Amino acid sequence: MIKKVTIFLFAFVVFGFIAAGNASAHDVYAESGAALRHAYKPTTVSETGWMKARVDNFAPMPVSTLVCVTAYNQANGNGTHLGCLKVNLDSHNGNNWAVEFNAPTYQLAPGTYTVAYTYQDGAGNWQRIKSLSLQIQDGVYRAW
């Protein structure tokens, strides 16, 4: 009986360390903004005028989160929310580890905008989506 309890406690402790290791790996990716990255600088689609971006999951685990897009007027700094998209991505290099999508821009007044993409990490914090090399990589939109 004591042997079974000892084995159970040992297995419980080992599992706890494994789970803690997985959680801390997720937190490292989430806190650094490294889980989701832009595959290229977001661009304007010439036919529609919408902003197009591709987001890749570089985390070693699947990610299910919101990706939101905000356009900031470069003249006055005012932000306009362009929308959010729920993404469910496989771990890095899985079958479904990236998503490409367009954000509507028709509600923007004339001007030049910096378009920022953010996502909500596992802790509920909003992270800026950066480039493959973890640099700020926002899009630029000009509304006429």
**What's the pLDDT at 144?**
87
Please count the other Cβ atoms lying within 10 Å of the Cβ belonging to residue 81: 11
Q: Along the 144 residues of the chain, how does pLDDT read in single tens digits?
A: 554 433 333 333 333 333 333 433 344 444 445 689 999 999 999 999 999 999 999 999 999 999 999 999 999 999 999 999 999 999 998 899 999 999 999 999 999 999 999 998 878 889 999 999 999 999 999 998
**What's the pLDDT at 121?**
83
**What's the pLDDT at 19?**
36
Domain residue spans in the chain?
Answer: 43-143
Superfamily for domain range 43-143: Immunoglobulins (2.60.40.10)
Residue 60 has phi, psi (to 5 degrees) of: -80, 10
CA–CA separation, 65 vs 50, rounded Å? 22
Residue 114, classified by CB atoms within 10 Å of its CB into exposed (0-12), middle (13-18) or buried (19+), is middle
Please count the other Cβ atoms lying within 10 Å of the Cβ belonging to residue 124: 7
**What's the pLDDT at 81?**
97
- Its pTM surpasses 0.95: no
**What's the pLDDT at 2?**
53
